[in-house]
Structure 1
Amino acid sequence: MPDHPVDVRLVALDMDGTLIGPDGRVPPSFWPLLEQMVDRGIVVVAASGRQYATLRTLFGEAASGMGFVAENGTLVAYRDEILATDTVAPEAAAGLVRAARTAARERDIGTVFCGVRSGYIERHDARFHDEVAIYYEALELIDDLLDVDDRALKVSFFDVDSAPDAAPFFAPFTDTQQVVVSGPHWIDVMNPGVHKGSGLDRLRTLLGLQRDQIVAFGDYHNDLELLDAAGYSFAMANGHPDVHARARYIAPPNTEAGVVTVLRELLG
């Protein structure tokens, strides 16, 4: 923990592996803390690979007073207003869909076209659908992802066995796109320079805050830039070693509601 008082004005929270516990739920002890932060004028930001609609549902009525860095930074919103989106060129999105179809000949992998309006999948089996539905409240099953009439914020891939092992199938896109292993089973592909950190910087600038007034929490590779954008960065104890190396501090694991523990101490 910092050895001095911290002027906390914004708290940025990754969801899976960080705030959300292994049971898939936000710890009950977080909700009164959220209310206290709002009462004190602290902006709470959900920074996640999850869909904006999913995050809003997760936080319920509190969402209207929050900030969101959704879809790994490709959509930024604050107090019910979408401030920015960054979309993949249609030809690039189509190429990624085709690459995943090729990979599926060798691996158990499925594709999510992460649109501005909705998420879209063409793989209809219950196992894949139920996994995707955790992260995509707005989700449509269609016959062909190449026919989607929406702009792609990113294209994501769920590999049943290991996302790092599937990443080489998307290596040809690294010259023009950003390929991120965002979880043990997930790969996200989006435009270069777009990440949770760039989304957080947009909000910080809008609100006129300094980096040393920002506290951020994360656990995996797609949180690295988020932690860089905060003056006080916490890696979860259960997080990836690369995240530990990048953060200034280590928080208790999400299995012990580590975010709550740290915030209670920081906020007194």
Structure 2
Amino acid sequence: MQNYRILFLDIDGTILRPDDTIEESTKRAIAEMKDQHIEVVLATGRPIHEISEIADELKITSFIGYNGALGIYEGKTIFAEPMQASEVQYILDVAKEHGHEVVLYTAEKNYLSDLDSDLVKVFLKQFHLRRNDIFTEKVIHDILGMTIITKGRLGHERYVFNEGIHLSQVNIEGMEHCFDVIRDRVNKGVGVGFLMKRLGIERESSIAFGDGMNDKEMLSTVGDGFAMGNAHPDLFQHAKHKTTEVTNSGIYNGLKSLGLMK
């Protein structure tokens, strides 16, 4: 059997079910991987400062957050890649012009274009974001990631980027009008690769599970990438394997197919 050494897990739609709970089979699978001395890392688009409850419940201390912009291994920061201030300003300008809202993330807080917007309030509730403040230019050089909350079916097409940036639709029911800003050189795949190199882990010894288009680089980087059964349809082509839904033991069944679960 392959000597697996590290497992990367997305959170929303992969670990967390639509009702924000975690299946017992998922908890059991993660505990079993740790018993087998396989590193378990949460790889998420969420800000790391907002996932402590999930991390504590699963006893995980290593993270790749903000879609690959910040890496923490066993409590220590190993890389951080803020966005260019000019990129941040462009998005803010277009959003203002078209009545969109923007969520900006630093290592410590979430900054909003408008704290009173109904769109923002729904987004904050969905992702349980609590460390919130209104955006000011004082933090424009500290932004690790952004989410654009658009209006209308094609609102995201208002943003025209040069090569190196694209938008990834949030794969959560009711959040289809929300788009994460993804940088080609700063994404989950790059973060995963950096951490594996740092730890001396070969590609063939790595596993990842994801469900959104912000997971495509990660699933392509590891040796065994799994797209959840509930994944965005375009994600399957980037994954080596397909497993069952997040509501049907997707992580457990995927690991079982590799011979890692009884």
Query: Counterparts of 1:34 and 1:160 in 2: how far apart (Å)?
Result: 38
Q: Which residue number in structure 2 is paired with residue 174 of structure 1?
A: 162
Query: Counterparts of 2:151 and 2:157 in 1: how far apart (Å)?
Result: 15
Letter of the 2:109 counterpart: S
The gaps in structure 1 that reach 5 residues or longer are none
What is the aligned counterpart of 1:36 among 32, 35, 44? 32
Q: Which residue number in structure 1 is paired with residue 95 of structure 2?
A: 100
In the TM superposition, residue 150 of structure 1 has moved relative to its aligned partner by 5.7
Q: Which residue number in structure 1 is paired with residue 9 of structure 2?
A: 13
Query: Counterparts of 1:113 and 1:17 in 2: how far apart (Å)?
Result: 22
Question: Contact 1:88 / 1:190 at 8 angstroms: preserved in 2?
Answer: no
Question: Contact 2:85 / 2:140 at 8 angstroms: preserved in 1?
Answer: no
Query: Counterparts of 2:162 and 2:86 in 1: how far apart (Å)?
Result: 15
What is the aligned counterpart of 1:26 among 22, 25, 31? 22
Question: Contact 2:29 / 2:251 at 8 angstroms: preserved in 1?
Answer: no
* CA displacement 1:126-152 (0-9 Å, x = unmatched): 55224225436452232x544546601
Number of aligned pairs? 254
Query: Counterparts of 1:95 and 1:127 in 2: how far apart (Å)?
Result: 21
Query: Counterparts of 1:149 and 1:241 in 2: how far apart (Å)?
Result: 34
Q: Which residue number in structure 2 is paired with residue 111 of structure 1?
A: 102
1:231 lines up with 2:223 in the alignment: yes
How does the TM-score come out when normalised to structure 1?
A: 0.86
Aligned-pair identity in percent equals: 25
1:246 lines up with 2:233 in the alignment: no
Q: Which residue number in structure 1 is paired with residue 56 of structure 2?
A: 60
1:89 lines up with 2:89 in the alignment: no
Deviates more, 1:207-216 or 1:237-246: 237-246
In the TM superposition, residue 87 of structure 1 has moved relative to its aligned partner by 0.8
For residues 140 and 150 of structure 1, do their structure 2 counterparts lie closer, same or farther at Cα, with a shift above 3 Å needed?
Answer: farther
Question: Contact 1:72 / 1:222 at 8 angstroms: preserved in 2?
Answer: yes
Question: Contact 1:116 / 1:153 at 8 angstroms: preserved in 2?
Answer: yes
Query: Counterparts of 2:201 and 2:93 in 1: how far apart (Å)?
Result: 43
Letter of the 1:118 counterpart: K
Q: Which residue number in structure 1 is paired with residue 143 of structure 2?
A: 152
For residues 59 and 160 of structure 1, do their structure 2 counterparts lie closer, same or farther at Cα, with a shift above 3 Å needed?
Answer: farther
Q: Which residue number in structure 2 is paired with residue 210 of structure 1?
A: 202
Question: Contact 1:112 / 1:119 at 8 angstroms: preserved in 2?
Answer: yes
Partner SS state of residue 18, structure 1: coil
Query: Counterparts of 1:67 and 1:48 in 2: how far apart (Å)?
Result: 11
Query: Counterparts of 1:42 and 1:197 in 2: how far apart (Å)?
Result: 19
Structure 1 segments of 4+ aligned residues over 6 angstroms from their partners: none
For residues 138 and 207 of structure 1, do their structure 2 counterparts lie closer, same or farther at Cα, with a shift above 3 Å needed?
Answer: farther
Q: Which residue number in structure 2 is paired with residue 189 of structure 1?
A: 181
Partner SS state of residue 21, structure 2: coil
Partner SS state of residue 40, structure 2: strand
Query: Counterparts of 1:149 and 1:238 in 2: how far apart (Å)?
Result: 35
Question: Contact 2:82 / 2:142 at 8 angstroms: preserved in 1?
Answer: yes
Question: Contact 1:115 / 1:150 at 8 angstroms: preserved in 2?
Answer: no
* CA displacement 1:193-235 (0-9 Å, x = unmatched): 1110000011111111111111111122111100111111111
